[in-house]
Structure 1
């Protein structure tokens, strides 16, 4: 086994949060090493540049780690229909849609609101400056002034063009007297920080141009310029701990040479996502898990959807993936029969004729044979999609564990995930479906198809696009894994900065909040490095 120098900070994972931590800490003058089990994804690797891009998105560019079987991946034994994960520099920003809404103030105080979720140890006001900082790095496009949200600074770039899809949907929302607002996007609507403006190509699962903020293009160049050492094809086997209870570094396989290497560090940061992080901690001799909380409280969001078709051609196959957001039902109203709320993510359509005909994200499919061309002529370019995303209640039995028989190619046990909605979640989902039907009718749809993500046996099998909550933040060491600074209660020089720390799921895509929290944690580590690098568990508890 080879040993390396002792670095100041070791970061495990080069995705969104790992890149932000690397940038802040390296720019702060610290010696930073980042280990990434994947590699770089070059522009020409994306399916956008290939004639068979529809096929590629179903196979080697599928967002589902279990469908593409890439050598950089690890398997996940899951009862969800899809596990969105991308092991590479930039992580899942290579494949995501970059819808960029923030949490609301009430998302941080659900324990006070109804007691069925915990309060965060921080408030919206604590994270707001870091939302602004992340937005500037990403170049978020959008429009300030949403009356459903706290005041914010103007977005770095102007809103995406108001499309025909957005106009048709806004008319529907207005007729129902429901809230709507142009969606904030992690994509630049004008040239920004060396990246070109969005060209509205409409294939918004990752972006080879970097118009959609792919962190390998927007953040990593800054981290590398500041001196961070990034090692790709470095699969971490386990994090080691010394007799004093502090992390000493990580043992990893250099997959370029086959060597086993131990990287020593004064502080270790884990940024391996809501499944990868608990998997690694559990595989590291149950690290930071004396309270049996690591891996528990897996959240995916309650999710249902509607695909609607309107007579007017709305050209949903072009333009940025999302158009509007509605927070009409985002806050709790117990008269609906459940606590928590949901929002509508209003998206465009698929750019692929084949995907539309085969069933884009609902059960609406073109007939084969007679009537196929007539169906296609009436439906292509006339499609609008709306997702309803709800705040699911945390359940300790929804969790990540280790497989007793399945491993990755280096022998590390695979992750096993279990997720099922609770009674409150199911009541919310039924209510969401009814509201989607109302919206489709208000938009004048001649046809619509609801998607409840149940299989042929009636079992809810959500796509796990959002994997959060499995190492949650809290104020009580017995019921949480990290404190308000993303610092492990049990291993004081271990920090977790990915989506696993989210105490509640909110009703929105989590990447903006995850990014803001990572920036906040990194600034705290940078400004307190000397004391944090020698902190003991007893002094942390005090």
Structure 2
């Protein structure tokens, strides 16, 4: 087995959390090695330059590895739901929408609010300065002053154009008296740091070859490499090694270009493999000392998978609103984000109201899952509907349940013979009531904009949840109690004090918004604390509750 030079820190995963941890620690003078099982996604590989770019979104550019079946993917065996992730440098930022709303203060204290979920071990106020710093680091566009959230500084870039679709949506919310605000986004409204501003091409769903979206391979990895991070792509980590004292000694990975196994030793191991990959790696790392998987004596690793609940509508209006143009997000509404038990459920949901797709996607019904009719009525229907619609997602804060989890598959294997992840997820009765309530509010919105057509999609039908909101959260959650969490509030594993888990698996609850803003803020907080206290922590034999 090959054994390169020892590192201060080895980071597993080169997505948003992995690059931020790598960058901050390298700029603090530490020797950092980052490993990712995938490769680089070059601008020319994006389907924007192909005539069949819309078709590619549904096969090799699908967000679901089970459909994409790329060379860098590993299988995810699912019972009723799907996984949204991209394996490679930059992680899922290669293919996400880059919507950037923050959590609200109440999202961190659901235990205090209603007791059906635990409180986070940190507060919004703890994370706020890291939200601000991550926004500056990445170049977020937005408009300060949203009355539904605590005050924030001016965003690094001004808000993206609202366009006709956004104005039509806003008028509907105004008629209802509901909150709405321009969606903050990790998309440049103006050129910055050598990256071009968004040109409104409308194909955000397949990533951004221009670098206008915050694709981490373009935004932060060049800076991390310049700081001295050694990034090894095509390096599939198969296990974390531990020594007699129970501490991690490093990781074993497969060099997928040569087939060699390599032992990379390090003082600190940071896992940033997403809500599926991270618990999978901890479970794969079982040994005599850790027969249930690494840091899993309490059987919490992989449990409490959160996806967000989801219902959606495509809404068509008479006016032509050019909804095939612009970035994905238009407006965000937090009108129903807070708990109101008179609605019949706890927690709430957020409206992400977005533009719809180009011509091909309109024809096949990719948003509403209702295709245009075939035959003599096709062209009349298409002329009436194309560029006249917007989409609205009601994204809800699902309750954490121990039975929703990631385990190892008994049958599926990846290309290197490692057990695949198996995903189990079913919403509870509270979440189903919330989804049904959200569907009725979507119909209210359609009436408010005088829609001539609306298609509401209920993803939970006849006891089958056909897809969740795709996000992969909560499977290695942080906490104050070692019996019910995997890490402490600094992302340090309770049982293995030199292993840190820092990605969306750290979430305790899911909030009602896309997770990337919170992922980046948590990563910056984790790395800043670790860099400041590294000399005290590199040889730690116990988990600390407070840093010096």
Shorter chain as denominator, the TM-score bin is over 0.9
How far the C-alpha of 1:504 sits from its partner, in A, is 0.4
Aligned to 2:289: none
Correspondence 1:268 to 2:234: no
Aligned pairs (5 A) from 1:61-76: 61-76=61-76
For 2:392, what is the secondary structure of its paired residue?
strand
Aligned to 2:161: 161
Counterpart-to-counterpart distance in 2, 1:194 and 1:465: 32
Does the Cα contact within 8 Å between 2:323 and 2:357 map onto a contact in 1?
yes
Does the Cα contact within 8 Å between 1:79 and 1:461 map onto a contact in 2?
no
Does the Cα contact within 8 Å between 1:83 and 1:464 map onto a contact in 2?
no
* Unaligned residue ranges in structure 2 (runs of 5+): 287-292
How far the C-alpha of 1:293 sits from its partner, in A, is 0.3
Q: Which of 331, 335, 338 is residue 338 of structure 2 equivalent to? A: 331
How far the C-alpha of 1:364 sits from its partner, in A, is 2.8
For 1:3, what is the secondary structure of its paired residue?
coil
The answer to which of 74-83 and 19-28 deviates more is 74-83
Correspondence 1:480 to 2:485: yes
For 1:450, what is the secondary structure of its paired residue?
strand
Aligned to 1:534: 539
Correspondence 1:387 to 2:388: no
How far the C-alpha of 1:81 sits from its partner, in A, is 4.2
Counterpart-to-counterpart distance in 1, 2:182 and 2:544: 47
Counterpart-to-counterpart distance in 2, 1:321 and 1:122: 31
Aligned pairs (5 A) from 1:257-406: 257-285=258-286, 286-351=293-358, 353-406=359-412
How far the C-alpha of 1:49 sits from its partner, in A, is 1.2
Counterpart-to-counterpart distance in 2, 1:128 and 1:541: 19
Per the normalisation by structure 1, the TM-score is: 0.98
How far the C-alpha of 1:363 sits from its partner, in A, is 3.5
Aligned to 1:245: 246
For 1:82, what is the secondary structure of its paired residue?
coil
Does the Cα contact within 8 Å between 1:489 and 1:540 map onto a contact in 2?
no
For 2:4, what is the secondary structure of its paired residue?
strand
Counterpart-to-counterpart distance in 2, 1:141 and 1:68: 30
How far the C-alpha of 1:464 sits from its partner, in A, is 5.1
Counterpart-to-counterpart distance in 2, 1:367 and 1:393: 39
Does the Cα contact within 8 Å between 2:493 and 2:543 map onto a contact in 1?
no
How far the C-alpha of 1:55 sits from its partner, in A, is 1.7
Aligned to 1:54: 54
Does the Cα contact within 8 Å between 2:3 and 2:263 map onto a contact in 1?
yes
Counterpart-to-counterpart distance in 2, 1:404 and 1:366: 41
For 2:275, what is the secondary structure of its paired residue?
helix
Does the Cα contact within 8 Å between 2:306 and 2:404 map onto a contact in 1?
yes
How far the C-alpha of 1:482 sits from its partner, in A, is 0.7
Aligned pairs (5 A) from 1:6-85: 6-85=6-85
For 2:338, what is the secondary structure of its paired residue?
coil
Correspondence 1:454 to 2:460: yes
Counterpart-to-counterpart distance in 1, 2:135 and 2:8: 28
The answer to which of 363-372 and 298-307 deviates more is 363-372
Q: Which of 510, 522, 527 is residue 505 of structure 1 equivalent to? A: 510
Counterpart-to-counterpart distance in 1, 2:83 and 2:489: 28
* Unaligned residue ranges in structure 1 (runs of 5+): none
Q: Deviations over 1:65-116 (max 9, x none)?
A: 0111111110000124432111110000000000000000000011000000
Counterpart-to-counterpart distance in 2, 1:356 and 1:52: 14
Aligned to 2:498: 493
Query: Moved runs in structure 1, 4+ residues, more than 3 A?
Result: 538-542
How far the C-alpha of 1:317 sits from its partner, in A, is 0.2
Aligned length: 540
The answer to which of 500-509 and 464-473 deviates more is 464-473
Aligned to 1:135: 135
Per the normalisation by structure 2, the TM-score is: 0.97
Q: Quote the RMSD (CA, aligned, Å).
A: 1.2
Counterpart-to-counterpart distance in 2, 1:84 and 1:327: 24
Aligned to 1:100: 100
Counterpart-to-counterpart distance in 2, 1:266 and 1:117: 34
For 1:432, what is the secondary structure of its paired residue?
helix
How far the C-alpha of 1:454 sits from its partner, in A, is 3.3
Counterpart-to-counterpart distance in 2, 1:390 and 1:117: 14
How far the C-alpha of 1:458 sits from its partner, in A, is 4.2
Q: Which of 377, 394, 417 is residue 411 of structure 1 equivalent to? A: 417
Counterpart-to-counterpart distance in 2, 1:228 and 1:296: 32
Cα distance, 1:487–1:538 mapped onto 2, change above 3 Å: closer
How far the C-alpha of 1:360 sits from its partner, in A, is 2.0
How far the C-alpha of 1:420 sits from its partner, in A, is 0.5
Aligned to 2:226: 225
The answer to which of 354-363 and 8-17 deviates more is 354-363
Aligned to 1:466: 471
The answer to which of 418-427 and 53-62 deviates more is 53-62
Aligned pairs (5 A) from 1:131-210: 131-205=131-205, 206-210=207-211
Cα distance, 1:334–1:464 mapped onto 2, change above 3 Å: closer
For 1:343, what is the secondary structure of its paired residue?
strand
The answer to which of 168-177 and 354-363 deviates more is 354-363
How far the C-alpha of 1:365 sits from its partner, in A, is 2.1
